[in-house]
Structure 1
Amino acid sequence: MGERSPLDTMHAQMERAREYVALDDDTFERLKAPERTLKVSCPVEMDDGHVETFEAYRCQFDGARGPYKGGIRYHPAVSAAEVEALAGWMTWKTATVGLPFGGAKGGVVCDPRDFSEREREALTRRYTEGIRRLIGPDVDIPAPDVNTDPQTMAWVMDTYSTYQGHAVPEVVTGKPLAAGGTVGRVEATGRGVSIVTQRALDYVAKPVEGADVAIQGFGNVGSVTASYLDRAGANVVAVSDVTGGRHDPEGLDVEALRTHVATEDTLAGYDAATEVTNDDLLTMDCDVLIPAAIENVITADVADRLEADLVVEAANGPTTHVADDVLIERGVPVVPDILANAGGVIVSYLEWVQNSQQYSWSLEEVNADLRERLTEAFETTVETAEEEGTPNLRTAAYTTALQRTARAHEVRGRFP
């Protein structure tokens, strides 16, 4: 069987969990389809004076449990199918960790590495104008994603607020502190991956101290994860980005790597460790493999050669469904993305609540809430796996998510 698209992969993951959830056919089909996907064109005047038009999307997958929630990404590979899959994963993610949100995702087809700051701002404001009829603090709350950041969210907020005639900080999360953001949000996803990784190591009876960890992807999520695991006593032996990776079996100097990337914007040129390819990293002999980049990097071929004892998915959809089959057969536990990388949306929820209350919390309060929610979600997933006899933790997480979302549809009924 060949590899599937991200949307096909999500549907296959849902199908696998279906036998553990009491769902009728009509409800299940309803859960598989997004409620709406908007396609917009974004004409932008570039610095040289010519106007370039970018294709963009916003998908609202399911809102039965609350306002839609999901990031905005800028990437050449953005498509309607990808955005719909990512919005679906957000639906199951918010349900898995018990947040009162549905799922959404947006994206613009572009390569922002080629943009000036002015061009990025112009594109962001034009995209916001295109989707502003769909978003709102009680309707759909965007956040940063691949190649977007707090500054991007500030532009989205300002554009939306300009149309409303007053500041609406709660329309987006992941904002700068000066625009109503929360402490702890930038590090939240990586901190959450670190928390879940430590819980997962305990689950497989391995100590975090001295555990060899390989991280594919060294952006915000991967680098923060590396830093927190390094502080916890783990041995981060390999990291990589699009230019390739760096490996040291004795453990990398994580903070030196982060300083280098902050200066150079890439791992290229870092010569204090051995160069390795991304494929080398993914198939490296280690205790924990953390894919923290993009979807579909662990294919069936990679899964067959993978030598890690545990996989923790910091990225969205990094493992194809066919690869999942291989890992189940080989007995390699995988902590799924909808649980492992939920730290970002948890702290986004906390930011949204603070904005709605117009009251800010301390970093200690935010981090304590994040740890409590992730720990509870991990324990619930393990309990479901053991009680229902699911083939892996992913199916257990989906079982919980589908149950919670289907129940919301059931009690709300259908209109008309």
Structure 2
Amino acid sequence: MHHDNKGFGTRCIHAGQQPDPTTGAIMTPVYQTSTYVQKSPGVVIEDYDYARSANPTRKALEANLASLEGGRHGIMFASGLASLAGCIHLLSSGDHVLLCDDVYGGTYRSLDKVFKQFGITYTRVDMLDLDATEAAFTPKTKLVWIETPTNPLLKVVDIAAVARIGKARGAIVCVDNTFATPVLQNPLSLGADIVSHSCTKYIGGHSDVIGGVLITNSDELGERLHYIQNAVGAISAPWDCFLLLRSTKTLHVRVQRHCENAAKIADFLAQQSQIERVIYPGRTDHPQHEIAKKQMRGGYGGMITATLKGGLPAARNFLERVQLFSLAESLGGVESLIEHPAIMTHASIDKPLREALGISDGLVRFSVGIEDVDDLIADIAEALG
């Protein structure tokens, strides 16, 4: 049954899934198998011959996530970084990647330490500056990698504008939509060729599974990425796919609460004397608030970044004192997390580069959960002392 014309919440719950034909089970079964029996050599049911190539649980999830992004093809990987690697495998030695300057540390590390060995080069560019972005293209630029809002500085890149520049140069444009989620932002409708998610974050939403996905509308890219998924083999396990299908059913309601809570907490932080600066795309003092308003809908996400006065000692003291906010890497779970990018998630980025970006030692990143917001605010107030 196709649900592509239905509302977002309906698609969260139904897209890509139908009751199990053999029993009528309403939930997609976990097809915990490595191979499938063939009626005669090469005669297989659908395309099921080997479970790396296809698995019914995974296929249901891929169809579900594709629908949520308004795409035709979903390709699941074992992690967000495996999705990135899937994308890079579209390239050849000598090709060039244009990379958003403020990205998840692991994305940077993958390009800087792994793919560089195979002759794939990259340039980091501040994509808020469209002239600089255009100037950074070379004849070998084959992929543009946008992350918005960025991690951890929550810069908001104009997807439509950068995609236009990329398309004019014949490059594939990919948007890491992890922070915004499909609820708030659909990059394919803004001109991107591929959307990437770390499903570990909001899509999973319960801090209990690792996964990644690429979504595209292009049949050609879909075919190539499925080929890479099978040939390289970094696939998502059936149980993980089952957990993610369970999670997408509440994605729309969870993200709505993340947004409501984060908006209130950002406003609270902005009033505290110990806080030097609050970065939240939903606040009118965010430098790209107008772009966020234009390309995001229904909220501005659950992530807040704030700089504490007093640098590292102040930040460390604060992070040791919070109780409801757990000090941990990752984000997007129902529980609130807090972390120190310079020491934790972005340690793989060299210090001079971190500081040039503005990832200072007083910078703290909040992943606001879906607890009662008054309790979260009380926790912050207490920790600020």
> Which structure shows the bigger proportion of residues in helix conformation?
1
Q: What is the TM-score with the length of structure 1 in the denominator?
A: 0.28
